[in-house]
Structure 1
Amino acid sequence: MRMLVRLVFGLFVLKAAVASPRFSRQVDLDTYDSVNYDMDLDNINLETQDNYDYEEGLTIDDPQIEIGTLAPPDYNYPEPEESLETQTDVEEEEEEEELPLKPQLVPQGSGGSGVLMGPDTQKGMPTCLLCTCLGGSVYCDDLKLDSVPPLPKDTTHFYARYNRITKINKSDFASMNKLKRIDLTANEITSVDDRAFMGLPELEELVIRENHIPQLPALPETMTLIDASNNDIGSKGIHREAFKDMTGLLYLYITDNHIDYIPVPLPDSLRSLHLQRNNIQMMHEDTFCNLKDFNYIRNALEDIRLDGNPINLSRTPQAYICLPRIPIGDLI
């Protein structure tokens, strides 16, 4: 029994010892929180009072100060130094800009000196400034020219329509080895040197309509188109057998002139022959066909114009048997 009492007493003492620090600690924490809470309330009351006093000092008329962020001061940052390579490149570019442009010479043309933009014309300026040069084509239309201007050597097509050119000299197209087409429509040409076009190995098309040319000049065998309409070409204005060797001739237009015969022989390549409004009064039966060979057919010549001439086509019916179409003209 005594042992039991001691055991119970020991347990009670142990329990009391364990519980005692926790209680003391809890009391300390509660006391600390209470003191801090009181101090926080005092601080809060003081701040509130300060704010209230500051706001009380303001009136309606007093401007309110806005507190913002100040802009950063301007700083002059030092520019990075250029490398030696960059400075050298800039200096070279400046030197290149300061150098004067060197004119490039255009190859010498017919009678010209080969200066910038083509040879100088009689008007004192280069051909390609006076005219328009596009590739190998030179356009000098309606510029009141009284002569053929010097052309760049590589000219392939030359147009000088509606000007006042009066004469074609042999030197006008000298050494123009690439020239293929010449168009001198509507000028005042009254004279053409007979061999003015014979030195042109590539010439294919010549248009000299609406001038006052009395005689058709000699032309190279390379011709494919000849238009000498509206001129003053008479009965002796075309060379004998002028077109015989032009094996590539396709179009021959000699309308509105004064010729009185069809200029035979005509090459088999010819497709179109316009001789209207001339003075042709008769035609031989072998003008187009071969009376010795009735099997001969001229298939290419499909367009023959003889209207406006004093000729009766019905008088020579054998002259058309080799043609695909009968010529246009009077049949009565």
Structure 2
Amino acid sequence: MHSRNKAFVLRMSMQSLVVLALVLDFLVPCPGMTAPPSEPDDDAFDIESYDLTSETEWENLDINVYEDSYNYNDLDQESEVDEAPDISPLAKQSPTQHYEEEVTLPPAPFNLDFKGPGLFGPETALGMPTCLLCVCIGGSVYCDDMGLHQIPPLPKDTRHLYCRFNNIRHVKNTDFINLDKLKSIDLTGNQISGMDEDVFQSLPQLQELLLADNNLQMMPELPITMKRIDLRNNRLSSQGVHSEGFKDMSQLEFLYLSNNNLDYIPTPLPLSLKVLHLQNNKIQFLHEDTFCNLNDLNFIRRNLEDIRLDGNPLNINLFAKAYVCLPRIPIGNN
């Protein structure tokens, strides 16, 4: 590249010298200044015939003289830029900037020392609030299908407990201490075979107890505030139900005792009762005063409209006097 540029500059410089010589020749005055200038010899100054390409002239030409008067660095730089390949758009972008990745740290763990009121309740003996194990919403605690083997410690403001489909086998009288607001307990679908006798006696507002699909043989004592009792699909016998256990429950409306081993109806039944399901037991006999009052022939049990006795070894046609005071005849085998 340098030899080509030097030849180009040399050729241009020589042509400039020729032109300069012609100009000076015309400007030199003739002797005496009186005679008109002599006409130049066309042949002598014919640019086309002015040959500088002979080998002798090229060899005697001092190129260094022209190199000193011209800066080849600028020409080289310009030539290199012109012949450089096209730069891709990505290469023309600014240098890659290094960014520090922003990392979001996980939230701080719950304060296990929390003892005030609120969603998570008081600290428990397990060292963590109950609602970290269960779901607590507005006084309701949901612990369904969690593989629990015991009732978890509950927040003091618990009103409804749903602890269905777990592996609980025994319910202790310490499981519901200081739960004055508890109204309903649902332990359906566990493996409960035993309960402490006074396990529910410390609950002044308990109204619903659902213990269906367990292995209970005895029913624990219940507070008189009960409205709904569900003991279906257990192993209850008549000896496992306390005598007159439902007598004082003046608010009891729903009593479900189907699919057990009862051989008689647990009487007396409160007047508030609306639904009594006893199907699929071992009941064979009905007393005349099971539902009615033999001392008051005008007595009518108006609320009890749904009695199920089907699936028992009992012919309801044989005990007509037992339900003459009922608004509807029980459903059973004829």
Specify the TM-score bucket, using the shorter chain as the normaliser.
Answer: 0.5 to 0.7
Aligned to 2:4: none
Report % sequence identity: 54
User: What is the CA–CA distance in structure 2 between the aligned matches of 1:120 and 1:142, rounded to whole Å?
Assistant: 21
Tell me how far 1:118 sits from its aligned partner: 4.1
User: What is the CA–CA distance in structure 2 between the aligned matches of 1:101 and 1:128, rounded to whole Å?
Assistant: 11
Q: 1:197 aligns with which of 183, 196, 200?
A: 200
2:121–2:156 contact (8 Å) kept in structure 1:
no
Q: 1:119 aligns with which of 104, 107, 123?
A: 123
User: What is the CA–CA distance in structure 2 between the aligned matches of 1:186 and 1:146, rounded to whole Å?
Assistant: 13
> Are residues 167 and 146 of structure 1, via their aligned partners in 2, closer, same or farther at CA, if it must alter by over 3 Å?
same
Runs (4+) of structure 1 exceeding 6 A deviation are: 100-103
2:296 matches 1:293: yes
Aligned to 1:220: 223
Q: 1:265 aligns with which of 261, 268, 276?
A: 268
2:332 matches 1:319: no
Tell me how far 1:276 sits from its aligned partner: 0.5
Aligned to 2:65: none
1:208–1:228 contact (8 Å) kept in structure 2:
yes
2:114–2:122 contact (8 Å) kept in structure 1:
no
Count residues with an aligned counterpart.
225
Q: 1:279 aligns with which of 274, 277, 282?
A: 282
Q: 1:329 aligns with which of 310, 327, 332?
A: 332
2:265 matches 1:255: no
User: What is the CA–CA distance in structure 1 between the aligned matches of 2:128 and 2:110, rounded to whole Å?
Assistant: 19
Aligned to 2:180: 177
User: What is the CA–CA distance in structure 2 between the aligned matches of 1:280 and 1:116, rounded to whole Å?
Assistant: 47
2:292–2:324 contact (8 Å) kept in structure 1:
yes
> Are residues 101 and 192 of structure 1, via their aligned partners in 2, closer, same or farther at CA, if it must alter by over 3 Å?
closer
Give the TM-score taking structure 2 as reference length.
0.64
2:137 matches 1:134: yes
Q: 2:115 aligns with which of 105, 126, 141?
A: 105
Aligned to 1:307: 310
Tell me how far 1:264 sits from its aligned partner: 0.4
Aligned to 1:245: 248
Unaligned runs of at least 5 residues, structure 1: 1-99, 108-113
The structure that is helix-richer by fraction is: 1
Aligned to 1:148: 151
2:162–2:185 contact (8 Å) kept in structure 1:
yes
Counterpart amino acid of residue 250 in structure 1 = E
Give the TM-score taking structure 1 as reference length.
0.65
Unaligned runs of at least 5 residues, structure 2: 1-108
Cα deviations across residues 123-171 of structure 1 (Å, max 9, x unaligned)?
Answer: x643101100001100000000000000001100001000001100000
Counterpart amino acid of residue 232 in structure 2 = S
Q: CA RMSD in A?
A: 2.0
2:256–2:276 contact (8 Å) kept in structure 1:
yes
Q: 1:187 aligns with which of 177, 184, 190?
A: 190
Tell me how far 1:106 sits from its aligned partner: 3.6
Aligned to 1:157: 160
> Are residues 225 and 291 of structure 1, via their aligned partners in 2, closer, same or farther at CA, if it must alter by over 3 Å?
same
Q: Within 5 Å, which residues of 2 pair with 1:60-99? A: none
- SS for the counterpart of 2:185 is strand
Q: Within 5 Å, which residues of 2 pair with 1:37-76? A: none
Aligned to 1:166: 169
> Are residues 118 and 231 of structure 1, via their aligned partners in 2, closer, same or farther at CA, if it must alter by over 3 Å?
same
1:117–1:129 contact (8 Å) kept in structure 2:
no
- SS for the counterpart of 1:236 is helix
- SS for the counterpart of 1:170 is coil
